[in-house]
Amino acid sequence: MTNNINVDLCIIGAGSGGLSVAAGAAQLGLSTVLIEAAEMGGDCLNTGCVPSKALLAAGKRAQIMRKGDIKGVKAHEPDIDFAAVKDHVFDTIKTIEPNDSQERFEGFGINVIRARGEFIAADTVKAGDNIIKARYFVIATGSSAAVPPITGLDQSKSFTNENIFELREKPEHLLIIGGGPIGIEMAQAHRRLGCKVSVFDMASILPRDDQQNVAIVKAALENEGINFHEHVSIKEVKHSDNMVALEIEKDGQVIEVAGSHILVAAGRKANTGGIGFEKAGIDFDRGGINVDERLRTSAKNIFAIGDVSKAPQFTHVAGYHAGIIIRQICFKMPAKVDYKALPWVTYTDPELAQVGLTEVDARAKYGDDNIKVAEWGFDENDRAIAERITKGQVRIITNKKGLILGASIVGAGGGELIGMWALAISSGLKISAVTSMIVPYPTMGEASKRAAGAWYTPSLFSDKTRRVVKLLQRLPF
C-alpha cells in the first residue's frame, strides 16, 4: 500500500550534512522527511573520520611506549593485540552512534524513512512504499571510495576505507595505493600497530598541502619505517591466496613489490547513481551534481550539499553547507559558499593543517612581489621542547600589507592550532592582530604568535629602524 506524504522539506542522505539540515529544519518548525537506505551517520561515523581517528589513536599510544626521549622513563615495545584494537575502533563508533541514531532524529519530529530515495519528478521522491512531495529537497548522498581501473585489481581481495576497519588479522605488509590524507593516515596507523607498510602514488603525496610542511611529515613517516613509491605507474596487481604484488614502473624501470594485503585509497567518487536525477531535471556528471554558490541545483527547489555537490570533501564542509541551507529555506536569507577560510587537517603525527592559500597558490595568484612568508619552528617553542615534540613549524602567508591569506602548520596539535588562523582569514585580519594578542606561556599556541612576530623581524631590526630609534632617543619622554 502506497503511503503519500506531503512536507516542507525532504532530505536524501543521513550523513553529517543531511543530519544537520534535518535537525535544524525540524527544530525550527518545518515538517521534515529524512531518507537513508544505509547506516545513519554516513561515511564519517561508520567508515571514515571516526574509525580512522580511533585507529590512529591506538597507533599513537603504541608509539609513545616506544619513545625513549625523556630521561628516566624507559621505552619498551608495546604488546599489541590487533583484533582488540579493532574492538576499540568499533567501541568508539558505538559511543558516538546515538548522536546520529534514527531514534534521536525521530525525537525531533522527523519522519525517518529507511529506504532508497529516487526522484520520480522535480517535486516528488519515492522511497520504499512512500511517495514524498515536498516544497524543498536536499540531496546529501555523499561519496564512496573510488577504485581505479588497474589491471588485475580484484575488489573482492582488496580493501578500501569502507571495509579496512573490519579486518581483524594484522597485515604483515600492507600495500597502499594512494598518497592522499586517507592513505597516509592509514599508513602511519598500521605501521605503528606493527605492520610493514608501503605507499604508492602516481604523483607526490599530499599534493594540496604546503610542500615544505609535507616534507616534514614524510620524513617523520620514513623514519618510522614506511616506504614511499612516488611518481610511479602501477602496471598490474597480482593476487594469490596468501599475497598480493604490485608491478610498478618508474623512470622506465619496472619492479614488483609483494605484500600481504592491499588498501585502495585513491580518492572518492560522488554517489549519484540510481537517484533519478534526470526525472527531476538535475544537472550532474561524473564529478557530482552541479550547483551554484547558493548550493541550488538546476532545479531551483532542490539543493545539493557535501561531497555530492563537487565541494571539498570534508565532513566540516557538509556541516557548513547545512547552515547555508537552513538560512535560505527557513529564514529566506540568501547565503553563498565561501571557501577562502576553509581549514583541513591530515591527522598524522606530526599533524598537518592548512587554511587558505598555500605559498605556491598565493604566489601564482598575486605574484611573487606581493607575497610575504613568516615562519616559526616548534624547536624554538618551550612547551614543545619540554615534551620532546619539536618536529614542525608554522608558516603564514600574507600580502605585502600584512593581510593574512593562508596558514600551514605541521606539528603536534596542528589541527587545534589552525582554527585561530581560519578565524583570522574569515575576519579579514592582518598579521598585526595576531602579534597583539596575549598567549599563555608555555603553550604550543605561542608558535603562532612568534610566527606572526617573525613577519616584522626584517623591517623591525633593520638599519632604517635603528636610525629612527636613535633619533627618537633625543626626544623627551
Q: What is the pairing mode between strands 371-377 and 173-177?
A: unpaired
CB neighbours (10 Å) of residue 336? 10
Tell how many helices (H) and how many strands (E) occur in the chain.
15, 23
Report pLDDT digits (tens) over 150-176: 999 999 999 999 999 999 999 999 999
Type and span of the H or E element at 124: strand 124-127
Residue 310, classed as helix, strand or coil, is coil
Quote the mean pLDDT of the chain.
96
- pLDDT, position 287: 95
Global confidence as pTM: 0.95
- pLDDT, position 241: 86
pLDDT, averaged per 10 consecutive residues of the chain (477 residues), comes to 94 98 98 97 96 98 96 96 98 98 98 98 96 98 96 96 97 98 98 98 97 98 98 97 95 96 97 95 96 97 98 97 98 96 98 98 97 97 98 98 98 98 98 96 97 88 75 82
E-strand ranges in 305-350 read 343-346
Q: Which amino acid is at 443?
A: T
The residue among 36, 16, 33, 37 whose CA lies nearest residue 25 is 33
Q: DSSP for 169-225?
A: SPPSEEEEE--SHHHHHHHHHHHHTT-EEEEE-SS-SSTTS-HHHHHHHHHHHHHTT
Specify whether the CB–CB gap between 3 and 133 falls below 8 A: no
Residue 117, classed as helix, strand or coil, is strand
- pLDDT, position 366: 97
Q: What is the pairing mode between strands 261-264 and 173-177?
A: parallel
Continuous H helices in 30-77: 42-46, 49-66
Q: Give buried/exposed letters for 353-367 (b at 16+ CB in 10 A, else e).
A: bbbbbbbeebbeeee
- pLDDT, position 476: 85
Residue 405, classed as helix, strand or coil, is strand
- pLDDT, position 460: 66
CB neighbours (10 Å) of residue 330? 18
On the question of a cis peptide bond just before residue 350, with omega within 30 degrees of 0, the verdict is: yes
Instruction: Indicate the Cα dihedral angle 447, 219, 313, 292, nearest 10°.
Output: 70
Q: What is the pairing mode between strands 244-250 and 117-121?
A: unpaired
φ, ψ of residue 293 to 5 degrees: the values are -65, -15
Q: Give buried/exposed letters for 102-134 (b at 16+ CB in 10 A, else e).
A: eebbeeeebbbbeeebbbeebbbbbbeebbbeb
The residue among 236, 311, 325, 227 whose CA lies nearest residue 270 is 311
CB neighbours (10 Å) of residue 29? 10
Quote the Cα angle for 91-95-100, to 5°: 125
- pLDDT, position 350: 98
Domains of the chain: 3-40+101-145+269-329 (3.50.50.60), 155-266 (3.50.50.60), 343-460 (3.30.390.30)
